[in-house]
Amino acid sequence: MLISKGATIGEVVTIKLITGEELIGKLSEDTATHYGIDRPLTLVMGAQGLGLQPWLFTVNTDKVIKFPKDKVIVCEPTMDEMAKNYLTGTSGIALA
């Protein structure tokens, strides 16, 4: 069994909220009370399979969104393929 090292600042992470929502974003803060996530996106199922869309539509997501740790079930590094999709979608740069 592998033991997770946890997430590091600047890494693309997946967080699962107590509401059941699963989000992907870049970890920018990890304090005793909250995680700061840059440009959080949510997972959606589309005609071509799993996709990403903005988690909030009416908020400027160019800033860090703070999630209280007591509302987060897990915060772990995102699988490589999904992390690449996230980075391509948020930066406009296609990654190999």
Token pair of 42, please?
């949510």
Kindly report the number of other CB atoms within 10 A of residue 79's CB atom: 12
- Given this model, what pLDDT does residue 96 score? 59
Instruction: Please give the Cα distance from 41 to 51 (Å, whole number).
Output: 10
**Which residues on neighbouring strands pair with residue 75, listed in sequence order?**
15
**Which residues on neighbouring strands pair with residue 26, listed in sequence order?**
12, 38
pLDDT per residue of the chain (96 residues) written in tens, 0 to 9: 566 678 899 999 999 999 999 999 999 999 999 999 999 999 888 888 888 999 999 988 778 999 999 999 999 999 999 999 999 988 877 665
Fold of the 12-91 domain: SH3 type barrels. (2.30.30)
**Confidence (pTM):** 0.86
The domains of the chain are located at 12-91
- Given this model, what pLDDT does residue 61 score? 75
